[in-house]
Structure formats: structure tokens, C-alpha cells
Structure 1
């Protein structure tokens, strides 16, 4: 199909851009590694039944880090789009018959791959530290988080198209990142917090991803948290991709 061929070409174009600047790959990988090596050992000292042996600490911590990686992997696309708008790259696409959906999916798929590859490396390193590997659960976990990356990437691209200003985009993206991740219990389970905090968290889609990630990492596939997370992410992915495609069609018409 024409749209698949276009998406593949545009995906490879974005991948080549990324591979030409390996410093960003190194930077994106170093942050979760530092969390794993320098922060995770601190959790062993917490007096809570949630944390016991080192492997139990990693059961809680590693899935949260993977969610953080999935969230962060798609955030930078908006900056690239603004750069292409300012450099006239997007303007050149106006005179081509390429599908606007393919233009969107090229960077989205690139961001998804740039999450999946480091995520598998982090899992391999975490296994050395004692993190238990449950292949089926981790496979579903990576699929779930790939959907999250796709949502964030598409939203970031669309905001870049709409705002056309790096400062405005940075204010929105960074302003949303902290409350969303904190209310998801990425680093520490929200069961540690008060009831009102746990209640607010249920209005955050990222919270369901974190909860399901910890269940799946433990090897449990058939759980209500897993069903809820997949349902929410599939609906959210469909809505965001539809909205983003409309933004692209309006911006590159």
C-alpha cells in the first residue's frame, strides 16, 4: 500500500537523522541507567512491606523507569517539527502528494523504536542486578508502553505544528511532565500517599500504565489493571492520532 511505503520512507528519514547525532541516544540512555544504579539502591532502606529484597525493589522501580522512558521518548518530536517549519522543510511537503498521516507516523514510529531498543537494554542490565525476567509479561509491557510513546510523540508533533514556537512548546510540555509523572507513581507507588492523592491519580492515564507495568513485569497477564491500561491506551492512541492527522492536514494543506 502507498501509505505503508510512505510511512516506511519517512520513518527511515527520521531514523537517519537520529543516528547522525548519537549524543542524543547516549543522553537518553544514561538517565535511566543513573536512576537504576544510583537511585534504586536507596529504596532498600525504606521501611515498608512494599520493599523487601533487592529484586522486590526492582519489581517496583524498573517498570516505573520504563514508563518514564516511554513518556520521555516522544517528547522531543515537537522541537524537531518547529525546526523543520523554520527551515522550510515542512513547506516543501506542501507540494508533494505524500499522506499527512504518513508524515505524522514517520517520527512517531522513530520515537517508538528509540524507546524500545534502550528499554530492552535497561531490562538486560536490570536482570544482572536481580530483576526477574518474565518474557510474556515484558512483551505485553513493551507493547503497552510503545502505545504511550506513540501518544506523546503524536501530541508533541501536533503541538509543535500549532504553536510554531520552541519556548511555548517547552512551557507546555515541561509543565505537564512533572505533575503527570508524579501523579502516576513512577518512582514510588502511590499507595505510600494519602487517599486524596490516590483519588486524583485515577484521572491520570499515565497512572494506569504504571500500575499495569508493575503487574506485567511480575509475570501476571490476566489482571484488571492490565485490561484497564490497554483499553485506555488504545482509545487514547486512536483519539490522538486522529486529532494529530487533522492538525497535519490543516497545517500542510
Structure 2
């Protein structure tokens, strides 16, 4: 029971910042929206290539942009931890009865709430722009699941890095250095059968590509069994990332 209460308290505390500053979600959506507008226009005629998987490029692109929005939001989750550290809040939590691990878990639960909201907003924008999701409600639900799992994983890694380096500049540099290659080394903009073989190998090991391929497959009328494997990979990745975040916090606690 204490575990549930600790998680609820930390989630509510972190969520209050979003309620007071809802523009944070809007800021996280600016880049994905711009990318959707730009690339859906630039690559509109690419669907005429033989073997292209969709009849409309916005149908092909939009699941990946939803994934991108949660990736970017999750990757900056550590900024809140750095702010708490600099204000002394993190150390004050250590003398409260809250279970130490759930200081981190509560932050991730709050991240889940914001990621789900962002996913729905991006899906709504995609529909307004003309995207059509043949997979229906179940397909949209699977897309959101994959997007949130990826966001949680990168949120946990961001928190682990934030606790370790404790500097905003270091975290933002690491996010910029890692997220762009991961996005471009995936099937976000182009079906993987159209890219060089070495990129296909890299994409097969890329968690961002797992989420994109699973989400895109869930939204098609004829999806294959690979979706469940991708979801399993994402779940394992998220569990490992959460463990690393909790471990990093325990190391920080011992250093205080």
C-alpha cells in the first residue's frame, strides 16, 4: 500500500508542474509538428516508387512522428531532476518517509501521463492533415503503447544521466547527440528496403525503429506478427532503463 501511495504522491507532485505550465507539452510538440508538415510535403510523391508500403506519405510518416514526439519528450525528463537537485529538493526527499526508488518511479509515472496526452494530440493533428489509420482504435492504442514504452525508456535513461552529470548543458548535449542519429537510422522517413544494407542492420537494433515499425504495422489493415516481438523488445528495454535510473539514484544517495 505504501508503494502505491509513494508513487501517487510523487506523480501528483511532478504532474502539478505540468498543470501550472501546460506550455511545456506544447513546446515538446513544436518540432514533431514542423517535421510532419515539412516532410509530408517534400516527400509527397515518393509513394509512387515501386514497392512503397503506403498510398499516402502522411499515412506512412505520421506513426513515426508520434513516436518521435514521445522520444523527444522522454529524453528531456532528466531536466526536472536537475532542477530539483539544484534547488535542494532532491536531498530533502531523502529525509522523507517516501521509498527512495519511487522518487524516480513517480517521476516516470508522471512522464507516462504527459506522453499519452502528447500521443493523442499528435494523432489528432495527423488526422486533421489527412492521415487515415486502417487499424482503427486498436491500432491507435498499440501505437500509443509503443510510443509510451519508448518514451519511458528514454525518460529513465535521461534521469539516470541527469543524476550522474547534474548539469543541464551536459544533458541537452547528450540528447541532441543521440536522438537525431536514432531517428534518421530508422524507418521514420523511408521504408527500410530502400536504404543500404548496413542501415537496415543498424535499424534492426534501434529501439526507435522498433516503436515505429510496431506502431506503423498496428495501423495497417494487414499487420504481421512482428508487432508483438517489437513490443516485447521495447518492454525489456524500458525495464533495463528504469533499473539504471533507480541504480543511479541509489549511487547518488550513497554519495550524499
Residue 70 and residue 30 in structure 1: after superposition, are their counterparts in 2 closer, same or farther (change >3 A)? Answer: same
C-alpha deviations, 1:173-200, integer Å up to 9, x for none? 2211111111112233333211221122
**Equivalent residues of 1:137, 1:220 under 8 A apart:** no
SS for the counterpart of 1:96 is coil
**Equivalent residues of 2:70, 2:118 under 8 A apart:** no
Match of 1:70 in 2: 70
Residue 22 (structure 2) pairs with residue 22 (structure 1): yes
Residue 174 (structure 2) pairs with residue 169 (structure 1): no
Residue 7 and residue 162 in structure 1: after superposition, are their counterparts in 2 closer, same or farther (change >3 A)? Answer: same
Residue 100 and residue 137 in structure 1: after superposition, are their counterparts in 2 closer, same or farther (change >3 A)? Answer: same
> Shift of residue 220 of structure 1?
4.5
SS for the counterpart of 1:186 is coil
Q: Distance in 1 between matches of 2:155 and 2:148?
A: 10
Q: Distance in 1 between matches of 2:173 and 2:33?
A: 27
> Shift of residue 129 of structure 1?
3.2
> Shift of residue 208 of structure 1?
1.6
C-alpha deviations, 1:94-147, integer Å up to 9, x for none? 111211221112221222221211221222232233322311111112112111
- Taking the TM superposition and a 5 Å limit, the aligned residue runs for 1:222-237 are 223-237=224-238
Aligned length: 250
- Taking the TM superposition and a 5 Å limit, the aligned residue runs for 1:173-188 are 173-188=175-190
Match of 2:126 in 1: 126
> Shift of residue 51 of structure 1?
6.8
**Equivalent residues of 2:75, 2:155 under 8 A apart:** yes
Q: Could you list the runs of 5+ residues in structure 2 that have no partner in the other structure? A: none
Match of 2:117 in 1: 117
* Stretch moving more, 108-117 or 146-155: 108-117
Q: Distance in 1 between matches of 2:99 and 2:20?
A: 26
C-alpha deviations, 1:190-215, integer Å up to 9, x for none? 33211221122222222221111110
Indicate the RMSD between aligned Cα atoms, in angstroms: 1.9
Match of 1:252 in 2: 253
Match of 1:96 in 2: 96
**Equivalent residues of 1:147, 1:233 under 8 A apart:** yes
SS for the counterpart of 1:74 is helix
**Equivalent residues of 1:70, 1:149 under 8 A apart:** yes
**Equivalent residues of 1:32, 1:65 under 8 A apart:** yes
Q: Distance in 2 between matches of 1:243 and 1:30?
A: 30
Q: Distance in 2 between matches of 1:179 and 1:35?
A: 15
**Equivalent residues of 1:44, 1:51 under 8 A apart:** no
> Shift of residue 52 of structure 1?
6.2
Q: Distance in 2 between matches of 1:52 and 1:138?
A: 17
Q: Distance in 1 between matches of 2:49 and 2:215?
A: 20
TM-score (norm 1): 0.91
